[in-house]
Amino acid sequence: MHLEIRGVERLSFRERQVVALKETGMANDAIARRLGLSPATVATLYARAKAKGYQVVLVLDGDPLALHDVGEDGAEGGEGAADREA
């Protein structure tokens, strides 16, 4: 699983750093310490990046949510499929 930032080419290097850290759940204070910036600068960079219209997409490799598994009988659904049919 990984994050993909679409529209990243419109962002400055610092905006990219802030977006990447912010979208993984880091708080402004933690980002500021990590990048050597003030929390206000982090907030400004994030606001500018949002205004430029980037999108974050979560890419799931394989089937980690078991949504497309195939049961022994070849029917989709695997475990729990019988419960839905009953």
Radius of gyration, alpha carbons of the chain: 20
pTM of the model: 0.67
pLDDT tier at 26 (50, 70, 90 boundaries)? very high
Does residue 12 form part of some domain?
Answer: yes
The domain total for the chain is 1
Q: Which two tokens stand for residue 36?
A: 């050597």
Does residue 41 form part of some domain?
Answer: yes
Does residue 30 form part of some domain?
Answer: yes
Burial class (CB in 10 A: 0-12, 13-18, 19+), 6: exposed
- DSSP state letters, 5-28: EETGGGS-HHHHHHHHHHHTT--H
Cα gap 24→46, rounded to integer Å:
13
Q: What pLDDT is recorded for position 64?
A: 73
Domain span at residue 42? 2-59
Select the more confidently predicted residue: 4 or 43: 43
* CATH code assigned at 31: 1.10.10.10
Cβ neighbours of residue 50 closer than 8 Å, sequence gap 6 or more? none
Does residue 66 form part of some domain?
Answer: no
36-78 pLDDT, tens digit per residue, is 999 999 999 999 999 999 998 888 788 877 887 656 555 555 5
Does residue 68 form part of some domain?
Answer: no
Does residue 48 form part of some domain?
Answer: yes
